[in-house]
Structure 1
Amino acid sequence: MVTMQTIHCPHCGKLALRQRYGSVSHTQCPHCDYVLTMCDRTGRVLEAYTPEITHVGQYGANLTCTIEWTKALC
């Protein structure tokens, strides 16, 4: 089940979108390009990007994949 909510971006404070897919949450801000994909259960960051800071984890920078595959990384 996918749940969506509007939140304030932790980077710029403007409105951003958070989507939850089971234990994986994906936060994206259209104003400052902030992106965070993480496992809510373990706290493991799967993908993170801000205009000033780029984090490429051991799984690579591009995690455009199926939700089932992303859940396996948690």
Structure 2
Amino acid sequence: MVTMQTIHCPHCGKLALRQRYGSVSHTQCPHCDYVLTMCDRTGRVLEAYTPEITHVGQYGANLTCTIERTRALC
């Protein structure tokens, strides 16, 4: 059984879609290309992607992070 839910994207805050397939959740945002697929049972991330994030730290240095696609078993 597939359950669909509209949520706010954790990355950009706009509306995103979360789909649940048994114990696997897939969240995708069409606005910023955020994707997260994880196992609800174990909490393991099966696939993740978000566009580049730039953060200015306390010392004024730019820290640029990119979350690469990751795969693991649920």
Q: TM-score range by the shorter chain?
A: 0.7 to 0.9
The answer to whether the 8 A contact 2:55-2:63 is kept is: no
Instruction: State the Cα RMSD in Å.
Output: 8.9
Percent of pairs with identical residues = 97
State the alpha-carbon separation in 1 of the partners of residues 2 and 59 from structure 2.
23
Q: 2:52 is matched with which residue?
A: 52
Q: Which has the larger radius of gyration?
A: 2
The number of residues matched between the two structures is 74
Conservation of the 8 A alpha-carbon contact between 2:52 and 2:64: no
Residue 55 of structure 1 deviates from its aligned partner by: 18
Unaligned runs of 5+ in 2: none
**Structure 1 residues not aligned, in runs of 5+:** none
Q: Is the 2:45–2:70 contact (alpha carbons within 8 Å) kept by the matching residues of 1?
A: no
Give the Cα separation in 1 of the matches to 2:62 and 2:11.
Answer: 21
Which of 17-26 and 60-69 deviates more? 60-69
Runs of 4+ in 1 over 2 A off after TM superposition: 53-73
**TM-score, normalization by structure 2:** 0.73
The alpha carbon displacement at 1:65 in A equals: 27
Q: Is the 8 A contact 2:48 2:68 kept in 1?
A: no
What SS does the corresponding residue of 1:72 show, helix, strand or coil?
A: coil
In structure 2, relative to structure 1, the CA distance for the partners of 1:40 and 1:50 (3 Å cut) is same
